[in-house]
Structure 1
Amino acid sequence: MSVGEEEWARERAGFGQDGAPAPGLLAGQFADLTRTLLDATPTVGGVLKLVVGGATALVPGADLVSVTLRDADGRFHTPIETDAVAERLDQVQYDHGEGPCVESARPDGPAVGWSQDLGRDPRWPVFGPAAARHGYHSVLATALLPDARPPRLSGALNIYSRTPGAFDARAIDIALLLATHASLALSHSEAVATAELEAAHLRRAVDSRDVIGQAKGILMQRRGISADEAFDVLRRASQDLNVKLADLARTLAARHTEVDLPPAAEG
């Protein structure tokens, strides 16, 4: 779905003015996308799928859409695309270190990169002709910056068109808005995932601490020793039996009427 030139100009002219008409088609589509992103299950894959679908629907001339992500070690990969050709064109850029996708995906790269005639663009002597041979003559890439902290994971939203001169200022504006939506949604999904991992780690730590305390109490009561001595018994037994201390403590706490530690562990 695309927005006509007249409607786009009308919306832009009226944007922010008093008494402007209700938001039009484009604004409605972005509002729907925003709601969907916020309501969606906060996973990276889910966000990328929605953003790629949004780019396909909203950017005039978009024939292929993909996402480039940059790993912590600086390597690039394409986790999602609308067609395998997009992944092949992305890979040409990764292999040769040239093209708007890799440039925009770098943390210090440009916010947007594009070409209206890839077969003749002197900036990318390998990627440009390769894209043209596949029948794609225009490309538009906008930066994704979902993480401002080191190592600053980053990426790019990549849009290819078979039409020369496909991407004008209107398309660039839409792509930049989509990339902003994507960056914010990815940042949210990463934060949720990190929080869940941290919560799970904390729960495991608390559970381990509690069960070790129970096992220490059993040994203190059974052998008449101090808390420090009971912990030393557990630690030595864990080493001698090559079993994690928390697992050993959990077994002792659950089966304390049946299980005792080897006498040698008391040393």
Structure 2
Amino acid sequence: MVTPDRVCRAAGRGTSEGMDIEREGALAARFAELTRTLLDATTVAGALERIVVAAGQFVPSADLVSVTLRGSDGTFHTPVETEHAASELDQLQYKFDEGPCLDAAREPGPAVGYSGDLGTSASWPQFGPAAAERGYHSALATALTLDAKPPRLGGALNIFSSGKASFSQSDANVALLLATHASLALAHTRALDRAELQAEHLRKALDSRDVIGQAKGILMNRRGVDAEKAFDILRRTSQDLNVKLSELANTLATRHLDLDL
């Protein structure tokens, strides 16, 4: 694991180089546009696809881009990538349990994993040479933070290059900004998912309450009982038939003319 300032030294670039004003302004405009498109994303997959495309555009040396996500069981997977080769490199990291994306994803806060010469990497002795054999010699991974509360299941934005020492400090800074945008976008889309799920649950609860009310009214009319007694009949019949109360009530409400009550 290396910190962002060590990424710069490993890449052989000086911190004084930075980004010139023109490129900085262009990036600011592109990040503003990215923010807008990410806020328009309504699914996790849609947000991630926008991020990997942006990474390929914002980091000139990027040949492959992917996203690693960590599941609730602790395992890692790659939901999106620019090319299948990126997913293959990720799978090697999962197999060997080492690599830049795993180092970044396992950190609780902002983190960067980097190597400018994977073939001789001491940090990843299995993954590094395997990646180099496939023609990829530089890797840059930045952490995604998906959950604010423990266990803070996260992930990483992964960028690979066929060249050696391909990524500068500026590239690391851009990747960190992209990871931040990705984290916020994922939180936004997951919030939408939760809101939709809650709305659907509420709708079903209201529908269920309405149909139970209809069934109670039918029983009150047919049996000459009060609302409490009608509900008790529904509840006991539901238990005797081993069917959900709402399903029984729906059958009674929609087919009461066919049923012998």
Query: TM-score range with shorter-chain normalisation?
Result: 0.7 to 0.9
In angstroms, what is the RMSD of aligned CA positions? 2.0
Distance 1:209 1:97, change over 3 A: same
Q: Could you tell me which of 5, 8, 16 is aligned with 2:19?
A: 8
Q: Which amino acid aligns with 1:170?
A: S
Q: Please, which moves more after superposition, 233-242 or 154-163?
A: 233-242
Q: Which amino acid aligns with 1:143?
A: A
- CA distance, structure 1, for counterparts of residue 149 and residue 188 of structure 2: 14
Are 2:67 and 2:78, in contact at CA under 8 Å, matched by a contact in 1? yes
CA deviation vs aligned residue, 1:130-159 (integer Å, no higher than 9, x gap): 111111111000111122134433110000
Distance 1:162 1:81, change over 3 A: same
Which residue of structure 2 lines up, in the alignment, with residue 211 of structure 1?
Answer: 211
The percent identity for this pair of structures is: 63
Which residue of structure 2 lines up, in the alignment, with residue 256 of structure 1?
Answer: 256
- CA distance, structure 1, for counterparts of residue 77 and residue 131 of structure 2: 18
CA-CA distance at 1:230 after TM superposition? 1.5
- CA distance, structure 1, for counterparts of residue 150 and residue 210 of structure 2: 35
CA deviation vs aligned residue, 1:27-54 (integer Å, no higher than 9, x gap): 11111111111223x1011011100000
Which residue of structure 1 lines up, in the alignment, with residue 147 of structure 2?
Answer: 147
Are 2:92 and 2:127, in contact at CA under 8 Å, matched by a contact in 1? yes
- CA distance, structure 1, for counterparts of residue 177 and residue 25 of structure 2: 16
Which residue of structure 1 lines up, in the alignment, with residue 198 of structure 2?
Answer: 198
* TM-score normalized with structure 1 length: 0.86
Q: Which amino acid aligns with 2:190?
A: E
Which residue of structure 1 lines up, in the alignment, with residue 130 of structure 2?
Answer: 130
CA deviation vs aligned residue, 1:178-219 (integer Å, no higher than 9, x gap): 111111111000000011001101110111112112211221
Are 2:119 and 2:131, in contact at CA under 8 Å, matched by a contact in 1? yes
CA-CA distance at 1:7 after TM superposition? 9.3
Which residue of structure 1 lines up, in the alignment, with residue 172 of structure 2?
Answer: 172
Q: Does 1:69 align with 2:69?
A: yes
* TM-score normalized with structure 2 length: 0.88
CA deviation vs aligned residue, 1:95-145 (integer Å, no higher than 9, x gap): 121111112112536511111111111011101111111111110001111
User: Counterpart of 2:234 in 1: which secondary structure?
Assistant: helix
Q: Which amino acid aligns with 2:45?
A: G
Distance 1:71 1:29, change over 3 A: same
Q: Please, which moves more after superposition, 89-98 or 224-233?
A: 224-233
- CA distance, structure 1, for counterparts of residue 112 and residue 145 of structure 2: 12
Q: Which amino acid aligns with 2:126?
A: V
User: Counterpart of 2:19 in 1: which secondary structure?
Assistant: helix
Which residue of structure 1 lines up, in the alignment, with residue 35 of structure 2?
Answer: 34
Distance 1:260 1:149, change over 3 A: farther
Are 2:105 and 2:144, in contact at CA under 8 Å, matched by a contact in 1? yes
Distance 1:8 1:198, change over 3 A: same
Q: Please, which moves more after superposition, 201-210 or 233-242?
A: 233-242
Greater relative CO (CA pairs within 8 A, separation 6+): 2
Which residue of structure 2 lines up, in the alignment, with residue 95 of structure 1?
Answer: 95
CA-CA distance at 1:69 after TM superposition? 0.5
Which residue of structure 1 lines up, in the alignment, with residue 59 of structure 2?
Answer: 59
- CA distance, structure 2, for counterparts of residue 25 and residue 202 of structure 1: 45
CA-CA distance at 1:71 after TM superposition? 0.4
Q: Give the number of equivalent residue pairs.
A: 246
Which residue of structure 2 lines up, in the alignment, with residue 49 of structure 1?
Answer: 49
Which residue of structure 1 lines up, in the alignment, with residue 13 of structure 2?
Answer: none
CA-CA distance at 1:83 after TM superposition? 1.4
User: Counterpart of 2:73 in 1: which secondary structure?
Assistant: coil
- CA distance, structure 1, for counterparts of residue 109 and residue 75 of structure 2: 15
